[in-house]
Amino acid sequence: MAEQTAPRRLDRRRERTRNALVYAAQRLLAERRTDVAIQEITELADVGVGSFYNHFDSKEDLFRAAVAEALEWWGVTMDRLTADLDDPAVAYAQSLRMTGRLHRRHPELSRILLHHGLELAHSDRGLAPRAHRDILAAVHAGRFRTEDPDLALALTAGAVLSLGALLHAQPERDAAVSADLVARGLLQQFGIPAEEAARICSLDLPDLDLVDSTSTAGTTTGQEWHQA
């Protein structure tokens, strides 16, 4: 029994160390402080310098992992919260509306999204592939009318990034109202009638406070993003 317990304990310790490094990198990314020494990262993570190289080959390797894991957490969360929706147009809109609210609820995660938005728009992880999936599903179901789903994804990414920049520039702006207006406009752009788009964007959303308290981002819980 002891021989089995020791490796598990070691694995948990390694996971905690890696999580601490990724979370430190996420904070530095949000602050645009990537030109730092590895020692500064490990001090922020409260781990030894030697531990860094047990998990990552370089700072660049760590920062890539930090970006990917932050956005993958939100993407997985959106998948879970929209899994029971039968209408792909509603799934698309709800994910977009919740992501719009993300900019206020999780400002550090929002800043990572904004700082790396163009590269993430073409990533195979995180938000972009899921938005593309929902767009294609809505087209195939006859809900969206668009000749170019890739262009529809580009419009979606541009709207999400522009909304985030506006919300950071205007702290007094209502993020929920603004996100719903953006979602309504995109639905109409993709062929949903105005009244139907308004109805879809007035539907209740999942309780994001519950998401914040129960979801994890590998290194970072939703609550930690909210508090950071």
**Model confidence band, residue 3 (pLDDT cutoffs 50, 70, 90):** low
Residue 33, pLDDT score: 86
Quick one: the chain helix, strand, coil %, rounded to 5? 75, 0, 25
Highest mean pLDDT among 25-34, 95-104, 122-131: 95-104
CA distance 67 to 179: 23
Q: How far is CA 228 from the centre of its chain?
A: 16
Residue 2 has pLDDT above 90, yes or no: no
CA distance 61 to 70: 14
CA distance 55 to 70: 17
Over residues 173-185, the mean pLDDT reads 97
Over residues 80-96, the mean pLDDT reads 94
Q: How far is CA 200 from the centre of its chain?
A: 22
The single residue listed with the structure tokens 């994890």 is: 216
Over residues 169-190, the mean pLDDT reads 97
- What is the CATH number assigned to the segment(s) 67-227? 1.10.357.10
Helix (H, G, I), strand (E, B) or coil at 221: strand
Residue 137, both tokens: 């599903």
For the stretch 96-105, pLDDT in tens is 999 999 888 8
Asked whether 122 and 128 are in contact (CB, 8 A), the reply is yes
Residue 6, pLDDT score: 59
**Model confidence band, residue 212 (pLDDT cutoffs 50, 70, 90):** low
Residue 221, pLDDT score: 40
